[in-house]
Structure 1
Amino acid sequence: MQDRTARSRTGTLPPRPPGATDPRVHVDLAHLRTLETRARSLSFLPRQPARSALNGRHASRLRGRGLNFEELRDYLPGDDIRAIDWKVTARTGRPHVRVMTEERDRPALIVVDQRMSMFFGSVLNMKSVTAAEAAALAAFRILDQGDRVGGIVFGDDLLAEMRPQRSRAALNRFLTALADANGLLRADAPAVEPIGLTRVLRAVARIASRNHLVIVLSDFDGIDEQTERVVSGLARRNDLVLVPVSDPVAGEVPAGMRLVVSDGRLQAEIDTDAPGARQGLASLSQGRLGEVANWQRRHGVPVLPLSAGEETLPQLRRLMGLGPG
């Protein structure tokens, strides 16, 4: 697994298996590139529409670009008194101000879950497809805004890291890694113990030390108390946006289905006609999404829930308070 992870970081992932052409099941690089024009209707800048989930009562406003320290100089008539550095003023006996300038851009890190738990869909798309499309839309728009963009794409046993850069080449590397990881998902994939989300978010914290826009697209499978601690730290130092991706069947598991589930090592078949089976499965999924909603309340983290049962772009526009477009 370590060798595969290292190769994924250098862009040498194995080629996707042939024959996967249905865009509802797998996305390829060509499909992701077609989303560029449509992405222009979105915005990840601090000024959001009044109805945007990024501007709501329970969500922290996006702080936008940070400030760079330029110089410390004597106070001049007309300077903003809020810029006075009182420690230096007291030490020198003369008023001094700190001159700050806005950063030219703000780095963004898009984190995309492509584990086997995401390879599920009952109505329209696989959850993995919805997450990939939303990530591509965000990446195109952020770069078009003039900000740096990078990402982390992770599967059950791969972790591809791309630090934020302001270039088309960097964006293409991110999209290629995303398409490659998505193409590895298949029903007969060997069972492995999946990478935990906590480990991935720790990698995020290493790259996004502060003043980043961090967007996490996942079904949040395998979260625990440690996950919340990492989320809390990321939210204090960055603009963190959580995008839980779910499937409509999670709310109400239909009867008459036989599902095979796995924890990466063991597999079990579940008959949804069995007493309590449907209720247990629904409670498991809803409990996971409910915990993410609790993070919103406890840490002021914006949450943009997406459904694999609907088209991706209209959902994002709706969540951002935009018209149907």
Structure 2
Amino acid sequence: MRDTAARTRAGLDRDLSGETGEAFDPRIRVDRAHLRRLEGRARGISFLPRQPAGSVLHGRHNSRLRGRGLNFEELRAYLPGDDVRAIDWKVTARTGEPHVRVYTEERDRPALVVVDQRMSMFFGSKLNMKSVTAAETAMLAAFRILDQGDRVGGVVFGDDLVAEIRPMRSRRAADLLLTAIADANALLRADAPAVEPMPLNRPLEAVAKMVRRDHLVIIISDFDGIDDRTKTLLGGLSRHNDVLLCLVTDPMAEELPDPSQIVISDGTLQAEIDTRDGRVHKALTEMASGRLAQILAWEHELGLPVLPLSAGQETLPQMRRLMGLAVARR
């Protein structure tokens, strides 16, 4: 028996192309036009080390963003006003005169935006599908990084695809990324053929081959299917790069509805989960809280900043709040 409610929620009863101008629900999926409209709306958001006082990326002892690297420029005599921390004491001792090392900040820091568009992301109980929140977060980040003068690329993955975009400092980079995201998002349908879920480790392995050092890597996912190998891959990436984890969750994962029977569907089949059963309720709660606890543990063990994002809230306002910025009033 087909589930009409699930088909309506998944948008299967309408044309979802979006590019044609026909109506579609932006809470359920995204298209190129929707993602392009995000350009310019992320002013103030920054992925550089200097963060507002209220930012979750500010002042962390072991998980702050390091930012662009430094290039050695010259060794010269000390001048009044120079930072004493820049004094080269070996040269000073050898010459008998104080000398300082002068560095300049690298012109840019390549960024890679990693976007999860697997079927596990095609869920939403309150506002957006997690896949929509991830897509919007990715493009807000990409447009802002380009505006900062840095190169941007990405890895977009679904359950049966991995698309790679090498970092570039051009509008073409954003166009390629938003096209890859929109195409992957369009494959998320309640009547899509069942396939084996893509292990998160596979796109992370692709990322590891693309970035060697001094990159910013933003991973936007619900982190479904993580294991010890995932931790090893993230640890390796963070050794020579800045890695930011954007954990996308749904409100239902944080707090189950009052004990009742929940009906879930993939558009073809449906099942009832009786959360009035104490064992079922406990198992579901532990599953949701366990993944969150594991990601937060990695934050401390590996020094990885975590940006928690909820599909139950609008994307841009919560990003601004998390980064210590005032939320613009409409």
TM-score of the pair, normalised by structure 2 = 0.82
Going from structure 1 to structure 2, the CA distance change for 1:314 and 1:81 (only over 3 Å counts) comes to closer
State the match for 2:114 in structure 1. 111
DSSP 3-state at the match of 2:57: helix
CA deviation string 1:93-142 (max 9, x = no partner): xx998764321111111111000000000100000000000111111111
Going from structure 1 to structure 2, the CA distance change for 1:270 and 1:169 (only over 3 Å counts) comes to same
Asked whether the equivalents of residues 125 and 308 of structure 1 are also in contact (C-alpha less than 8 Å), the reply is: yes
Asked whether the equivalents of residues 157 and 192 of structure 1 are also in contact (C-alpha less than 8 Å), the reply is: yes
Asked whether the equivalents of residues 159 and 195 of structure 2 are also in contact (C-alpha less than 8 Å), the reply is: yes
Pick one of 152, 164, 167 that aligns with 1:164.
Answer: 167
Asked whether the equivalents of residues 248 and 308 of structure 2 are also in contact (C-alpha less than 8 Å), the reply is: yes
Is 1:143 the counterpart of 2:143 in the alignment? no
For 1:28 and 1:85, how far apart are their aligned partners in 2? Answer: 58
Asked whether the equivalents of residues 69 and 98 of structure 1 are also in contact (C-alpha less than 8 Å), the reply is: yes
CA deviation string 1:243-268 (max 9, x = no partner): 1000011123332213358xxxxx99
State the match for 2:263 in structure 1. 258
DSSP 3-state at the match of 1:298: helix
CA deviation string 1:18-73 (max 9, x = no partner): 722210001000001111121123122221011101114365222221123557x7
DSSP 3-state at the match of 1:46: coil
Is 1:272 the counterpart of 2:268 in the alignment? no
DSSP 3-state at the match of 2:164: strand
State the match for 2:191 in structure 1. 188
CA deviation string 1:128-160 (max 9, x = no partner): 000000111111111001111111100001001
State the match for 1:19 in structure 2. 15
Asked whether the equivalents of residues 115 and 154 of structure 1 are also in contact (C-alpha less than 8 Å), the reply is: yes
CA RMSD in angstroms comes to: 2.8
TM-score of the pair, normalised by structure 1 = 0.84
Asked whether the equivalents of residues 58 and 296 of structure 1 are also in contact (C-alpha less than 8 Å), the reply is: no
State the match for 2:21 in structure 1. none
Is 1:64 the counterpart of 2:60 in the alignment? no
For 2:128 and 2:107, how far apart are their aligned partners in 1? Answer: 38
Is 1:32 the counterpart of 2:35 in the alignment? yes
For 2:85 and 2:51, how far apart are their aligned partners in 1? Answer: 30
Pick one of 199, 203, 218 that aligns with 1:215.
Answer: 218
Which amino acid is 1:19 matched to?
Answer: D
Asked whether the equivalents of residues 86 and 96 of structure 1 are also in contact (C-alpha less than 8 Å), the reply is: no
Deviation at 1:277, TM superposition (A): 2.0
State the match for 2:208 in structure 1. 205
Is 1:131 the counterpart of 2:134 in the alignment? yes
For 1:77 and 1:141, how far apart are their aligned partners in 2? Answer: 38
Unaligned runs of 5+ in 2: 1-12, 17-23
Deviation at 1:324, TM superposition (A): 1.4
For 1:252 and 1:77, how far apart are their aligned partners in 2? Answer: 60
DSSP 3-state at the match of 2:167: strand
Going from structure 1 to structure 2, the CA distance change for 1:168 and 1:39 (only over 3 Å counts) comes to same
Asked whether the equivalents of residues 251 and 311 of structure 2 are also in contact (C-alpha less than 8 Å), the reply is: yes
State the match for 1:173 in structure 2. 176
Asked whether the equivalents of residues 78 and 99 of structure 2 are also in contact (C-alpha less than 8 Å), the reply is: no
Which amino acid is 2:274 matched to?
Answer: T
For 1:173 and 1:218, how far apart are their aligned partners in 2? Answer: 20
DSSP 3-state at the match of 1:221: coil
DSSP 3-state at the match of 2:285: helix
Aligned residue pairs total: 300
Asked whether the equivalents of residues 53 and 59 of structure 1 are also in contact (C-alpha less than 8 Å), the reply is: no
Going from structure 1 to structure 2, the CA distance change for 1:322 and 1:59 (only over 3 Å counts) comes to farther
Give percent identity, aligned residues only: 61
For 1:162 and 1:301, how far apart are their aligned partners in 2? Answer: 23
Which amino acid is 2:273 matched to?
Answer: D
Greater shift, 297-306 or 269-278, is seen at 269-278
Asked whether the equivalents of residues 57 and 65 of structure 2 are also in contact (C-alpha less than 8 Å), the reply is: yes
Going from structure 1 to structure 2, the CA distance change for 1:96 and 1:202 (only over 3 Å counts) comes to farther
Unaligned runs of 5+ in 1: 1-16, 262-266
State the match for 1:292 in structure 2. 295
Pick one of 237, 241, 255 that aligns with 1:238.
Answer: 241
Greater shift, 98-107 or 217-226, is seen at 98-107
State the match for 2:5 in structure 1. none
For 1:123 and 1:233, how far apart are their aligned partners in 2? Answer: 36
Deviation at 1:312, TM superposition (A): 0.4
State the match for 2:320 in structure 1. 317
Deviation at 1:239, TM superposition (A): 1.1
